[in-house]
A and B are shown apart, each in its own frame.
Chain A
Amino acid sequence: MALLQHGALQPNNWRFVGDDAALPADGPVTVSLKRWQAETDALRGRNAPIGVRLKNDEPAQALGDDVHRLSVIEVEFPKFTDGRAFSQARILRDKLGYQGELRGIGTILRDTYAHMVRCGIDSVELPEGKAIDGYLEALQEFTVWYQPASDSRRTVLELRHAANANARSGAAVLSETVAAHSV
């Protein structure tokens, strides 16, 4: 499988190692949450990047501060209609402050891709040679969004009130501040 990342299809040198399989001597790997928790030290002792593959029904919160030790976290879409990973992604980004690569795996359709990106997923696994034009187009389908999510897009609310905020940042705020301090 390849990775759609930074707007292009990239080679993928990561591999998932099952709970019973031996760890390869080198190369980046992802493991289950269970294996990560059981063998944290051994996994960190390897001289290669490490990631965790979260199952759909595992609480993302279980990773806690460990997120800062991981290079990749994978979240699963076993069917494209199963949206649990959207919430897992948002918890990883917004609550645990995870900054690394957040990868969507499973059934990744162009029609769900934009939602993934908004929820903080910044790479997705796609078959080698997959045409990605549709995926890139999907990110352009909307230019404004109502609700805040785990991306940096400005919301309608921010855009609506930006003009007011700019006006307020001048004299209005100053006089409010003065008034507040003089009480």
Chain B
Amino acid sequence: MYRYDEFDATIVQERVRQFRGQVTRRLAGELTEEQFRPLRLKNGLYLQLHAYMLRVAIPYGVLSAKQMRKLAFIARRYDRGFGHFTTRQNIQYNWPQLNEAPDILEHLAEVEMHAIQTSGNCIRNVTADQFAGVAADEIEDPRIWAEIIRQWSTFHPEFDYLPRKFKIAVTGAPDDRAAIRVHDIGVRIVKNEVGETGFEIWVGGGLGRTPIIGVPIRKFLPKRHLLSYLEAILRVYNLLGRRDNIYKARIKILVQATGGEKFAQQVEEEWEKIKDGPLYLPQEEIDRIHRYFAPPAYDKLEDNDPAFETARLEHPDFARWVRTNTVRHRVPGYIIANVSLKPEGGAPGDASADQMDLLADLADAYSLNEVRVTHHQNIVFPNVRKRDLFALWQRLKPAKLATPNLGFVSDIIACPGLDYCSLANARSIPVAQRLSRHFSDPRKLEAIGELRLNISGCINACGHHHVGHIGILGVDKQGQEFYQVTLGGSSKDDASLGKIVGAAFSEDDIVPAIDTIIETYLGQRSDKSERFLDFVRRVGVDPFKEALYGTAPARRPAAE
């Protein structure tokens, strides 16, 4: 993984000192709250319902065991023994005091971490495929480019006061695990006709109040031009993006209003002028960063391990977890193991300090000292020898970290909701908890198969409800919490936005409603291989309407 050199370390240390100064000036009254707010947000510090919340960056989701231990330490000392992993591969702490925030940053800097640009109207922490470098289907490792983007975007003087927040995601595989089509900029590593790798650039995707799938504005960008191209996009957006209305300020609105083709033209014009300037990437810098992501020293192994096969035969629970929670590794004899942070009755993405310490120990013992955080709010051990997998599972199980539900209906993405967030209209976590209790039988989960259920507590859509196969949106109806359901969304390479199924459900009715939806699917799917999403795409929402509301859907009269 990437390690700081003297320059990276200096920048992070100087940032800690700068932020400490800003906090001191705020506490002394030299900065008004209005002036301080954008400054603290650029450092991930929010003022929530009950207290401050600090969001710590985990660049492209990669963590060493040592860093994970530090996150556990911070959870114990400054939070109430918990951390919350987010959909942008970050971690949030819910109870820090303002005057402690600089101390937390100092602890983070000791392990090459920070909270830089985890909020605010600037370029946010860049995200990537959680299986980067180990996925069998990968064209090239996206972490190299995510790190290059991280450095370029850190304290970029021109783009620190954009019209609105700006999120960039990078994927290196055809199976898009980074949801690039719903980002302000999506970078996809592709091969051209002559076999060179470069980038396909998507722009103007996003969720929130106005969910939009991005548009591809360049089919193939040579690698060394990446930063100049990004700078051109950002410059056009910074100058032309709307600033009169916060809800119309994201780049997606500008791209829609301008038209994808014309926007692309504006970017190309700007890019022509800067493409051969100082942002043209030196090959030696690409090579330098590349070296940090060189494959670790893998053992030479047979792909099949007899002990692993025996354990699967003897322990059906283990066999199930292997089926549901592991993914093929590119190196023979190794496997990618996913740890679900969605146990029955748990808050999605939460981990206790003890769990974090255990994950760190297990990373050292079984995963070449590394873990990853996924945008589905789970944890990955990227480098496990098949022969070690049973031992790993045995240690995960008593810590409630071996729930066999990856990609199933109880593997829920949820925002913090009204329990924590000052923007929310409704609670998200209790709904997720009740759903995970309702759908807790692993056999039932497997029978239902792949199903993404996402919950947001308000239209800002932090729980990505639009792109859930089932989406749940919390709304406020005369002071009561209600839940609107959408069907058929996806954030992958077949990205789509869900359609509203009908009137919203009360807090009491939402779990039975989801049950009805799933029973409708199970009863009517053509066979087991037709996933829930495929079924919704084939039949639309009408069969669900009928099952939920008992009314036959209105049909257009037959043609005369």
The smallest beta-carbon distance between B38 and chain A, in angstroms, is 6
The smallest beta-carbon distance between B161 and chain A, in angstroms, is 3
In chain B, positions 8-22 with a C-beta closer than 8 Å to chain A are 8, 10-11, 14-15, 17-18, 21-22
If the complex has contacts A84-B238, A84-B239, are A119 and B5 also in contact, measured as CB distance less than 8 A? no
The verdict on A157 contacting chain B, using a C-beta distance below 8 Å, is yes
The smallest beta-carbon distance between A104 and chain B, in angstroms, is 12
If the complex has contacts A81-B121, A111-B39, A161-B285, are A144 and B158 also in contact, measured as CB distance less than 8 A? no
Chain B interface bracket (under 10, 10 to 19, 20 to 34, 35 or more):
35 or more
Which of chain A's residues have a CB closer than 8 A to the CB of B11? 142, 144, 146, 156
Interchain CA distance A155-B279 in the complex, whole Å: 11
Choice from B5, B157, B284 contacting A86 with Cβ under 8 Å: B157
Segment of A22-30, A37-45, A87-95 engaged in the interface with chain B: A87-95
Interchain CA distance A116-B14 in the complex, whole Å: 19
Which of chain B's residues have a CB closer than 8 A to the CB of A109? 35
The verdict on A82 contacting chain B, using a C-beta distance below 8 Å, is yes
In chain B, positions 146-194 with a C-beta closer than 8 Å to chain A are 151-162
The verdict on A177 contacting chain B, using a C-beta distance below 8 Å, is no
The verdict on B278 contacting chain A, using a C-beta distance below 8 Å, is yes
Which of chain B's residues have a CB closer than 8 A to the CB of A145? 155
Interchain CA distance A86-B231 in the complex, whole Å: 13
Using CB atoms, name the residue of chain B closest to A115.
B157
- Residue contact B5 to A147, C-beta cutoff 8 Å: no
The verdict on B243 contacting chain A, using a C-beta distance below 8 Å, is yes
Interchain CA distance A120-B46 in the complex, whole Å: 32
The verdict on A63 contacting chain B, using a C-beta distance below 8 Å, is no
- Residue contact A156 to B238, C-beta cutoff 8 Å: no
Which of chain B's residues have a CB closer than 8 A to the CB of A80? 35, 38, 161
The verdict on A20 contacting chain B, using a C-beta distance below 8 Å, is no
In chain B, positions 281-296 with a C-beta closer than 8 Å to chain A are 282, 284-285, 288
- Residue contact B243 to A82, C-beta cutoff 8 Å: yes
Interchain CA distance A116-B161 in the complex, whole Å: 11
Interchain CA distance A118-B288 in the complex, whole Å: 26
- Residue contact A147 to B285, C-beta cutoff 8 Å: no
- Residue contact B161 to A83, C-beta cutoff 8 Å: yes
- Residue contact A114 to B157, C-beta cutoff 8 Å: yes
Choice from B35, B155, B239, B288 contacting A88 with Cβ under 8 Å: B239
The smallest beta-carbon distance between A163 and chain B, in angstroms, is 11
The verdict on B235 contacting chain A, using a C-beta distance below 8 Å, is yes
- Residue contact A141 to B18, C-beta cutoff 8 Å: yes
Interchain CA distance A74-B160 in the complex, whole Å: 20
If the complex has contacts A81-B121, A148-B279, are A87 and B35 also in contact, measured as CB distance less than 8 A? no
- Residue contact A141 to B14, C-beta cutoff 8 Å: yes
Choice from A83, A119, A141, A149 contacting B162 with Cβ under 8 Å: A83
Interchain CA distance A148-B285 in the complex, whole Å: 15
The verdict on A160 contacting chain B, using a C-beta distance below 8 Å, is yes
The verdict on A62 contacting chain B, using a C-beta distance below 8 Å, is no
Interchain CA distance A86-B7 in the complex, whole Å: 25
- Residue contact A87 to B151, C-beta cutoff 8 Å: no
In chain A, positions 69-84 with a C-beta closer than 8 Å to chain B are 80-84
Using CB atoms, name the residue of chain A closest to B37.
A81
- Residue contact A141 to B17, C-beta cutoff 8 Å: yes
Interchain CA distance A115-B38 in the complex, whole Å: 15
- Residue contact B10 to A144, C-beta cutoff 8 Å: yes
The smallest beta-carbon distance between B445 and chain A, in angstroms, is 45
Looking at A112, A116, A159, the one whose CB has the most chain B CB atoms below 10 A away is: A112
- Residue contact A149 to B7, C-beta cutoff 8 Å: no
In chain A, positions 93-133 with a C-beta closer than 8 Å to chain B are 94-95, 109, 111-112, 114-116, 118-119
- Residue contact A87 to B158, C-beta cutoff 8 Å: yes
Choice from A59, A81, A118, A156 contacting B7 with Cβ under 8 Å: A156
Residue-by-residue, is B464-492 near A (CB-CB < 8 Å gives 1, otherwise 0)?
00000000000000000000000000000
Using CB atoms, name the residue of chain A closest to B18.
A141
Beyond the given pairs A142-B155, A156-B7, 6 more chain A to chain B contacts, judged by CB atoms under 8 angstroms and listed by A's residue number, are A80-B38, A83-B160, A84-B239, A87-B235, A146-B11, A156-B151
Residue numbers of B with Cβ under 8 A of A are: 5, 7-8, 10-11, 14-15, 17-18, 21-22, 35, 38-39, 121, 151-162, 227, 235, 238-239, 243, 273-274, 277-279, 282, 284-285, 288
Could you list 21 examples of A-B contacts with CB < 8 Å?
A80-B35, A81-B161, A82-B243, A83-B158, A83-B159, A83-B162, A84-B238, A86-B161, A87-B238, A95-B273, A111-B22, A112-B160, A112-B161, A114-B157, A142-B11, A142-B14, A144-B11, A146-B154, A156-B11, A160-B288, A161-B282
3 pairs of A and B residues whose beta carbons are closest in the complex: A83-B161, A118-B157, A148-B278
